[in-house]
Structure 1
Amino acid sequence: MASLQISDFNSQIPVDLLISYVFQLHTNISKLESLRPSKQVNALFTQLVNLCTLPSSIDVRALPQDLQLKRASLINLCGQAEGLMELEFSTFITKTPKPLNNLNLFPYYGNYVKLAKMEYNILAENGAASPKKVAFVGSGPMPLTSLVLAASHMRTSHFDNFDLDEKANSLARRLVSSDEELEKRMKFVTKDVMELRESLGEYDCIFLAALVGLSRDEKVKILGHVRKYMKEGGLLLVRSANGARAFLYPVVEEHDLVGFEVLCVFHPNDEVINSVVLVRKPFASN
């Protein structure tokens, strides 16, 4: 399959062609022996990302059931590959003399810098430029959003980062340990979000990473749990996906956010992949 470039399409890629290419890539990725970074793995996922960031009018909700199942499988494969890539680069970067100066070795570092700035701007526009305490759920071994926000945008905020994987948290701690000031403001906790209850009420703002809850049912369950225990007036920033980007990440619809006040929905049209949905837990009426 020839590599696609954005320049191949002046306006937007036809939906039928997009679907054909995406599921051909899904077939090729499914046949890989390993999803660890390699020339072949990197080439296939680069093609997929390039394809899914082309202008397109696709609505993935209209896909038939068999393709919905393939899309779910593809999102799962993307999640696995992303986790393995972060693990490999975090392991490598933690061994360098000044790890935080070498974060740009991670291939998608520039995307995270843009995404974090976008998210900060959205929070600032909604009165949360410098929250006292922030939770990031699903931080992984390369907690780039927290690092960029803590170092560049929220210089007084305390970040509690939650991940299921202790190895991921151990690597993240080693990345941050090279900076005494950041280390004081960033904790890494190995815990499932569904095990967090009253402690969720401590946070002014909670981030929910895109790959926390891969299926809609899981995502809705997690959103309901967070809403139950977070503080009234607290903000929840949820990552989603729009258009063809929904082949890479799960979509969060407004009707999945029952009981929240939706403040902002933003869909990027550049190389940033994730959409951002900002919601608030309303104050209980007297």
Structure 2
Amino acid sequence: MASFQNSNFETEIPAELVIARVMELHASISKLESLRPSKQVNSLFTELVKLCIFPSSIDISTLPQEVQQMRESLIVLCGQAEGLLELEFSNFLNQIPQPLNNLNLFPYYGNYVKLASLENQILNENGVVHPKKVAFIGSGPMPLTSIVMATHHMKFTQFDNYDIDEKANHVARRIVSSDGALEKRMKFETSDIMEVKEKLGEYECIFLAALVGMSKEQKLKNLEHIRKYMKEGGILLIRSAKGARAFLYPVVEEHDLVDFEILTIFHPTNDVVNSVVLVRKPFY
């Protein structure tokens, strides 16, 4: 493994090496009895993430069928593990005073701060500055993006966070309730976004988390539904992935964005995992 550990972000690892190691990691992760945080789980996923953020020329669409199937399975496993990690940390933070002052204890906190800063910059460059009301779809038990955005970048914005899991929303509400001013600007709605219709028309900007719609088919349905009900001229920020990062998260391609106006597609080259796709619903 020395070749991976000693590489820096300028060094490209051959695609076949990356794929072979990702398949080995998938096999190990698949055999785990539980995906709850543990030394073994953390170690496997840490290695997987480090491996996938190295530069590589992998084009997911050209991979053989067995690798495609492995990738689909791995994305689901990553999503489950991420949810369990967030839930555990959210419960832990809720047991200590001032949980909002201790968000940096979450292992990927720095990553969320960088991503939120990047997304805010992209939004500002495209005319979205201090929006009155935004939605975050797929906020989870640790709504870090909303919290970081609300406290550092959009200090007067109302955030409506949507998640399908009431347990996730319950612990997220508790974290935010430790700050009265922030709590006033943060709502948590438990619903499948496919059931939310007219309300989507209220937002100047909607964030779509990477793990909402894990299969291509579901992702496209979500995008079509949001486009149908969001306001004309409204902005949708979609998290995607490119290259080896696509072993961790679903990919949204340009041709998936039917009837949207594409504003920006940004692929990070540092330790931020997600690509940022910014689109607008045209005026008709």
TM-score interval, normalised by the smaller of the two chains: over 0.9
Alpha-carbon spacing, 1:211–1:10, altered in 2? closer, same or farther (3 Å) = closer
- Paired AA for residue 221 in structure 2: K
Alpha-carbon spacing, 1:61–1:189, altered in 2? closer, same or farther (3 Å) = same
Contact conserved, 1:133 with 1:204, CA < 8 A, in 2?
yes
Q: Where do 1:150-165 residues align within 5 Å?
A: 150-165=150-165
Contact conserved, 1:132 with 1:158, CA < 8 A, in 2?
yes
Q: Where do 1:201-240 residues align within 5 Å?
A: 201-240=201-240
What is residue 97 of structure 2 aligned with on the other side?
97
What is residue 282 of structure 2 aligned with on the other side?
282
Contact conserved, 2:9 with 2:269, CA < 8 A, in 1?
no
- TM-score, L = length of structure 2: 0.98
What is residue 197 of structure 2 aligned with on the other side?
197
What is residue 118 of structure 2 aligned with on the other side?
118
Following TM superposition, the consecutive aligned residue runs of length 4 or more in structure 1 with deviations greater than 6 angstroms are: none
What is residue 28 of structure 2 aligned with on the other side?
28
Alpha-carbon spacing, 1:9–1:265, altered in 2? closer, same or farther (3 Å) = closer
Q: How far does the alpha carbon of each residue in 1:37-92 deviate from its partner, in whole angstroms, 9 at most, with x for none?
A: 00000000000001001111111111011110110000000000000000000000
5+ residue gaps, structure 1, are: none
Aligned residues: CA RMSD:
1.2
1:255 paired to 2:259: no
- Paired AA for residue 207 in structure 2: F
For 2:3 and 2:55, the matched residues in 1 are separated by: 16
Q: How far does the alpha carbon of each residue in 1:225-261 deviate from its partner, in whole angstroms, 9 at most, with x for none?
A: 0000000000000000001000000000011110000
Contact conserved, 2:10 with 2:55, CA < 8 A, in 1?
no
For 1:87 and 1:3, the matched residues in 2 are separated by: 34
For 1:58 and 1:224, the matched residues in 2 are separated by: 28
Question: Offset at 1:9?
Answer: 8.2
For 2:113 and 2:205, the matched residues in 1 are separated by: 19
Q: 3-state SS of the aligned residue for 1:4?
A: helix
Q: How far does the alpha carbon of each residue in 1:162-203 deviate from its partner, in whole angstroms, 9 at most, with x for none?
A: 001111001011000011110000000101100000110000
Contact conserved, 2:52 with 2:247, CA < 8 A, in 1?
yes
5+ residue gaps, structure 2, are: none
For 1:179 and 1:9, the matched residues in 2 are separated by: 39
Contact conserved, 1:6 with 1:54, CA < 8 A, in 2?
no
Identity across aligned pairs (percent)? 69
- Paired AA for residue 215 in structure 1: S
Q: 3-state SS of the aligned residue for 1:7?
A: coil
Contact conserved, 2:57 with 2:243, CA < 8 A, in 1?
yes
Q: How far does the alpha carbon of each residue in 1:204-230 deviate from its partner, in whole angstroms, 9 at most, with x for none?
A: 000000000001110000000000000
The count of residues paired between Structure 1 and Structure 2 equals: 284
Alpha-carbon spacing, 1:147–1:21, altered in 2? closer, same or farther (3 Å) = same
